[in-house]
Structure 1
């Protein structure tokens, strides 16, 4: 399955934590642009959401997920409020697209600013803790 990743998953550190290993090397993947989508910060949060936005173009990467464990880990990370949906039938390309329970802020996501911010290190720690639920075998995720 080909999945378009953007935002926090463009951090190699975050992707490694989410997948539980250094399975995918982002620096080896080409940039992929998708039309009619944009990433905005979630209102009052330090992470992004993907929203449909006419005439916008968003850059990200396409990762190939070929086992259930990695897909389950990505789905856990994204949460129920970001279901996996097909965004390009021509490419059989999927993305985790925010539903109506999340509100975008007016501020577009900026990966470089986020990576340099104090919020980034805090975010990594939160992701480690959140993803440890899977590693501990908790059933409530």
Structure 2
């Protein structure tokens, strides 16, 4: 996607590609690349990125297929639909295409969460969203607790 943007310097694009490749394929990521369960973490990002690239190259149907695969690969894949809509707005795609992406995203998202049951010991999502201050506090606390791992 970076390569097709004329506003981005080619050297910057190469630097970005090298950084992305280096961090993805570093020794610290080997578990994510080889463990059977961990492959979904790489796959959801790969599919979401491919969906964005397809949309940039004018292939909204392929973007929808790839976004659907990302959605069913892992829960975080649901977010790709929002990214596709924002990307489409930024690229000034026709309103019909944006509506098609939004509607498809809603249908796929609804099918993904149909039949969801909250695991034992977890807060129901509706209750969590109803308490934004506590939700943000919990997210900050969880993120901050990971900081010592990087030092």
What's the TM-score bracket when you normalise by the shorter of the two chains? under 0.3
What TM-score comes out, normalization by structure 1 length?
0.26
What TM-score comes out, normalization by structure 2 length?
0.25
> Which structure would you say has the larger RCO, counting Cα contacts within 8 Å and 6 or more residues apart?
1
Instruction: From the two aligned structures, give the one with the greater strand fraction.
Output: 1
- Which has the greater radius of gyration? 2
